[in-house]
């Protein structure tokens, strides 16, 4: 299967200090990939680089003919300002910005799509609720509804099942399976190893760098998990800035 995304000796970080170091590998089109690792392993940093929020300190991320704007990104819910005065309908409708423009209004067809997306995640009747009134599970359902509206070929989910109830997790996991069946490329940062083993055929075990990457059963071994924890504990946040050379661009 052709590569959809390629990491070419990529280093990502902040103030020239790497959080993801010299990562190389490919993600095939239509893959369902879990990204796991201890706290501080660089999972969120990797996703921010992939969707264009962070520019690599070195190396490159290649998306083939895909523009980063064509990647749907679900951030951690803690990154959403729940005090912002916006309704569930309007927040979810922002998933249509590529079709309507950043300041475009929603016509009848677009408004119907928003209502349908909210219904698909079990939020019927929540359209006019301020987002600050939502529970954690309801907030996550709303974020998934926004991703639905983006209708993207690549979907990046940062901790999509964190701190939500079992029913919500099951409902949203069913959406992830549907995206996979539709041959979309799905990446999810996760902590629940049992969930990963049961539902994700491929896994990247990250600890600032790649510890293991491949079929989930081969990656999530006791030895690999121990090595990942040791690598994160040994990493020196005060180390010198990364001086890795920038690689010349290559054809996708």
Q: What is the mean pLDDT of the chain?
A: 90
CB atoms within 10 A of CB 111: 15
Q: Band of the pLDDT at 240, cuts 50, 70, 90? A: low
99 versus 47: the higher-pLDDT residue is 47
Given a cut of 80, whether residue 139 has pLDDT beyond it is yes
- Confirm if 187 and 155 have CB atoms less than 8 A apart: yes
d(CA 117, CA 146): 8
**Two tokens at 210?**
């790649």
Residue 44 pLDDT exceeds 50: yes
Q: How confident is the model at residue 68 (pLDDT cuts 50, 70, 90)?
A: confident
**Cα 52 to Cα 56, 129, 132, 142, distances in angstroms:** 9, 31, 27, 23
Q: What local confidence, expressed as pLDDT, does residue 141 receive? A: 97
| Residue, of 41 and 65, whose pLDDT is higher | 41
Q: Is 214 or 98 the better-scoring residue by pLDDT?
A: 214
Strand partners, 7: 25, 61
Instruction: Specify the higher pLDDT residue, 250 or 157.
Output: 157
Identify whether the C-beta of residue 154 lies closer than 8 Å to the C-beta of residue 66: yes
Residue ranges per domain, the chain?
3-234
Q: Which carries the bigger pLDDT value, residue 121 or residue 78?
A: 121
Burial degree of 133 (CB within 10 A; 0-12, 13-18, 19+): exposed
Distance between first and last Cα of the chain: 14
135-158 average pLDDT score? 96
pLDDT of residue 188: 98
Please give the pLDDT value at position 89: 96
What one-character DSSP code corresponds to residue 177?
Answer: H
Contact partners, residue 203, CB within 8 Å, separation at least 6: 33, 34, 35, 36, 196, 212, 213, 214, 215, 216, 219, 220
Digit-coded pLDDT (tens) for 167-197: 999 999 999 999 999 999 999 999 999 999 9
Mean pLDDT of 95-124: 84
Backbone angles phi, psi at 245, to 5 degrees: -70, 150
What confidence category does residue 64 fall into, taking pLDDT thresholds of 50, 70 and 90? confident
CA atoms within 13 A on the CB side of 242: 24
Cβ atoms within 10 Å, residue 171: 18
**Choice among 25-34, 90-99, 108-117, 128-137 with the minimum mean pLDDT:** 90-99
Q: Which helix (H) or strand (E) holds 37?
A: none
pLDDT at 67 over 50: yes
What residues pair up with 12 in beta bridges, in sequence order? Answer: 20
Q: What is the pLDDT of residues 78-89, one digit of tens each?
A: 899 999 999 999
Strand partners, 113: none
Distance CA 227, CA 235 (A): 12
pLDDT at 101: 57
Picking from 61-65, 88-92, 150-154, which range would have the lowest pLDDT averaged per residue? Answer: 61-65
3-14, strands of its sheet edge to edge: 17-28, 3-14, 58-62
Longest dimension (CA), the chain: 56
Q: What is the C-alpha separation between 142 and 147, in angstroms, rounded?
A: 9
d(CA 219, CA 211): 8
Fold category of 3-234 in CATH = Rossmann fold (3.40.50)
């Amino acid at each position: 299967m052709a590569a959809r995304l390629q990491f070419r000796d990529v280093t990502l970080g902040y103030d020239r200090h790497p959080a993801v170091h010299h990562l190389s590998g490919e993600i095939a089109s239509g893959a369902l990939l879990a990204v796991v690792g201890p706290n501080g392993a660089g999972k969120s940093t990797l996703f921010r680089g992939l969707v264009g929020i962070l520019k690599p300190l070195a190396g490159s991320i290649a998306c083939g003919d895909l523009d980063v704007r064509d990647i749907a990104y679900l951030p951690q819910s803690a990154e959403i300002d729940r005090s912002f005065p916006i309704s569930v309908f309007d927040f979810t409708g922002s998933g249509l910005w590529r079709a309507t423009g950043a300041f475009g209004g929603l016509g009848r067809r677009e408004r119907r799509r928003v209502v349908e997306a909210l219904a698909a995640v079990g939020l019927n009747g929540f359209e006019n609720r301020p987002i600050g009134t939502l529970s954690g599970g309801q907030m996550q359902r709303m974020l998934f509804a926004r991703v639905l509206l983006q209708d993207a070929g690549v979907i990046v989910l940062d901790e999509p099942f964190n701190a939500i109830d079992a029913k919500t997790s099951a409902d949203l996991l069913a959406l992830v399976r549907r995206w996979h069946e539709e041959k979309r490329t799905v990446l999810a940062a996760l902590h629940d190893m049992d969930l990963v083993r049961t539902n994700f055929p491929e896994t990247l075990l990250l600890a600032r760098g790649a510890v293991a990457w491949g079929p989930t059963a081969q990656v999530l071994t006791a030895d690999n998990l121990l090595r990942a924890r040791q690598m994160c504990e040994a990493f020196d946040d005060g180390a010198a800035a990364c001086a890795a050379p920038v690689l010349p661009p290559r054809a996708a």
